[in-house]
Amino acid sequence: MTCRDSHNNISELNGASPTSQVRHTISDPLELESAFLQHFKSILGSSPSHPPPFDLSGKLGPQLELSTLGIPFTESEIFQAISHLASGKASGPDGFSIDFFKKFWNIIKIDLMRAFQAFQDCSLDLSELNKAYISLVPKKESCTEISDYRPISVINSFVKIITKVLANRIQPYIKDLVSPLQTAFTKNRSIMESYMVTREFISFYHKNKLPAVLYNVDFAKAFDTISWTFLTHVLIERGFPPSLISWILQILRSSSSTIKLNGDFSSFFVHKRGLRQGDPLSPLLFIIVTDALQSFFNNVTSLISGPILIPPRALQYADDTIILMEANPRSLLVVSEILSNFAQLSGLRVNDAKCLFVPISVSAPAINHISSILRCQAKELPITYLGLPLSIRRPKKIHFQPLISAFQRKLDGWKARLLSLGGRLTLVKSVLTALPLHFMQVLKLPPWLLRHLEGIRRRFFWKENNKCLGGHCLVNWAKCCLPKANGGLGILDLQRQNQALLLKWLWKLKHEPDSVWTSTVQLLYGTSDADQLISRSVSYGLVDILQQVPFFNLSVMSENSIATWKWTANGIFSSSSAYGVLSNTGLISKYHLALWKVKSPPRVKVFLWILLQDRLLTQQNLIVRGWPCPTSCPCCNTSLMETTDHLFLHCQYATSIWSLVQTHYRLPFLNFTLDIGNF
């Protein structure tokens, strides 16, 4: 058993065995397998309760022209779907991976097209092809319950190709099918907009002393409990062609799964509801279904009697749902009724035990009343939303501790002493620099945190995460964080990157009036003009963004009343172009540009970079640092001091090596009187 297998091994859990309803610790392998099988069979393999009669006509938004989704399958779109599926992934129960279909496409494409034709005609029996094994992915560090594991389906590649083809067809229309308040699985929508909108609303309610509630809704087993009947009605109402609906239902009704536990497999069970996590089509179907909830909220104003300043609204990222509403009994009761009706229709039931609400400008007696209506506990701000601290005030040091801990976990898993400077540079740029990006997109990181994170990166690069004083750094860290063209290593400077990412929100205010973020700012403050917002009482987050207005105004020019970004060819803002402007020193080094094009290992390139900086620990540089050492070259036994130029060019030993290189590769005349840079 490998170390990874040992870590993923499930040896015992708390639960009730099938033969006894008494909860106890289950450690017997057969009992564990049976417990997992019964658990997931009771969710995915049980028929949903019959919903009350319902009519969705005219309640889910306009029908779209989607007839092209039902046209016959083509060879080109099937090949495109296979090409877009990730390689190197685990195969399903049949053992055929996506790599097999990619490699032998020219051989099997005729048979594959016949299978697609049969599927298209609904004459293909998918019951044996549409099998999957459920891989148990832990939701947290220490799992003690069966519910602590997320069921990820590894389906047979043929069915995965079918669902990928269908997903590719639906994806271009998803933006029109799903509300802008749903930011998951949709191109050009950002998870950060949900956070930004929520923060702006709670700040507005607080500053204006408007009693309000932030209701964090948790749906129990969201993907696993979707009603296929409700899904069918939604697809019909939104204008999906009958042929596409029949294809989707073929896939759903023929699906069966087995539980993979510690390398062994349980018996198969047939699915009767839910969407498989791991299926390319499932995320799109899920947000189409949950968009019905958005439609119900769009009609909520007519259900609330009496005046209301801002109607309740639901902000969603997949199943992660935040409902913002005024703290009056009318709104609370209507929202509770909407969620109850939606649960009966869709199968998505609210898990009250995991829900919470945040009262804003609400009295203590009112909080108790709200708790009785929503059937969940109150919690004070700040809370964690989408992995970020959400508050009406600036986050404190403790709220950034998860980010700092994430850095430490990464460092603990790396054997820095076994890595060259080139390897450490790669990890700094690809991992340690990426960790805080989630925070930096919406929060202006405080100076102390930036210094701390820069210190972690600097220590790891120069001293394998040990204590790193100034003398340990061969090159100043600010120099390392310059672009390669300006003589640096191309490591992103966190402060400048933070600023560049925040500039994106100013661009949205200026150039994307239909975005959820811009429309929210317009609704709350009566304007989305950044110059006017500076004088308004806005959230601390918006204040930080508005501080970038002077630089932003210098970077935007107007042509025919259209704002364009100066620093890109197409005139559209990008954070990378903003960072390039913020970090550009204006000094282009031709030597360094040539260095990074050399075909050599990263460790050699980093060594050459240090060499060009004249920061190698030669005798000359050691004396400058206060180290006692000889003042004569140990290679040529002369009285000449060992400098960078002498060691690599002027030393007799070096010149003899260069002569051999020159002869072997038939190089032109080499001038050894130059310094290392000009050489």
Q: Which of 232-246, 338-352, 583-597, 632-646 has the lowest mean pLDDT?
A: 583-597
Q: How many Cα atoms occupy the beta-carbon half-sphere of 304 within 13 Å?
A: 26
Q: Which residues pair with 322 in a beta bridge?
A: 216, 315
Query: Would strands 388-390 and 383-385 be described as parallel, antiparallel, or unpaired?
Result: antiparallel
Average pLDDT, the chain: 87
**How does pLDDT run across 252-299, given as a tens digit for each residue?**
999 999 998 888 888 999 999 999 988 999 999 999 999 999 888 887
Given a contact cutoff of 8 angstroms between Cβ atoms, the answer to whether 192 and 515 are in contact is no
Given a contact cutoff of 8 angstroms between Cβ atoms, the answer to whether 552 and 503 are in contact is yes
In degrees rounded to 5, what are phi and psi of residue 446? -65, 155
Number of H helices, E strands in the chain: 29, 16
* Residue closest to 105 by CA, chosen among 75, 139, 60: 75
Distance in angstroms (rounded) separating the CA atoms of residues 162 and 365: 55
In degrees rounded to 5, what are phi and psi of residue 75? -65, -40
Q: Which residues pair with 389 in a beta bridge?
A: 384
Given a contact cutoff of 8 angstroms between Cβ atoms, the answer to whether 641 and 620 are in contact is yes
- Per-residue confidence (pLDDT) for residue 586, from 0 to 100: 67
**How does pLDDT run across 338-348, given as a tens digit for each residue?**
999 999 999 99
Given a contact cutoff of 8 angstroms between Cβ atoms, the answer to whether 324 and 198 are in contact is yes
* Residue closest to 604 by CA, chosen among 420, 336, 426: 420
pLDDT tops 90 at residue 174: yes
pLDDT tops 90 at residue 678: no
Asked whether the CA dihedral 185, 190, 192, 194 is positive or negative, the reply is: negative
Domains for the chain: give ranges and CATH numbers: 39-174+224-282 (no CATH), 213-221+285-388 (3.30.70), 397-492 (no CATH), 496-583 (no CATH), 616-665 (no CATH)
- Per-residue confidence (pLDDT) for residue 298, from 0 to 100: 82
Distance in angstroms (rounded) separating the CA atoms of residues 427 and 602: 12
Q: Average of pLDDT values for 475-493? A: 90
Q: Look at the block and give the residue holding tokens 């690069």.
A: 461
- Per-residue confidence (pLDDT) for residue 1, from 0 to 100: 47
- Per-residue confidence (pLDDT) for residue 2, from 0 to 100: 53
- Per-residue confidence (pLDDT) for residue 655, from 0 to 100: 83
Query: Would strands 149-155 and 388-390 be described as parallel, antiparallel, or unpaired?
Result: unpaired
3-state secondary structure at position 566: coil
* Residue closest to 428 by CA, chosen among 584, 574, 420, 608: 420
Most confident of 97-106, 555-564, 611-620: 97-106
Q: How many Cα atoms occupy the beta-carbon half-sphere of 516 within 13 Å?
A: 25
| Residue 330 buriedness (CB in 10 A; 0-12 / 13-18 / 19+) | middle
**How does pLDDT run across 583-601, given as a tens digit for each residue?**
877 667 677 778 888 888 9
| Alpha helix stretches (DSSP H) within 413-564 | 421-427, 437-440, 447-463, 477-480, 494-511, 516-525, 530-533, 540-546, 549-555
| Residue 28 buriedness (CB in 10 A; 0-12 / 13-18 / 19+) | exposed
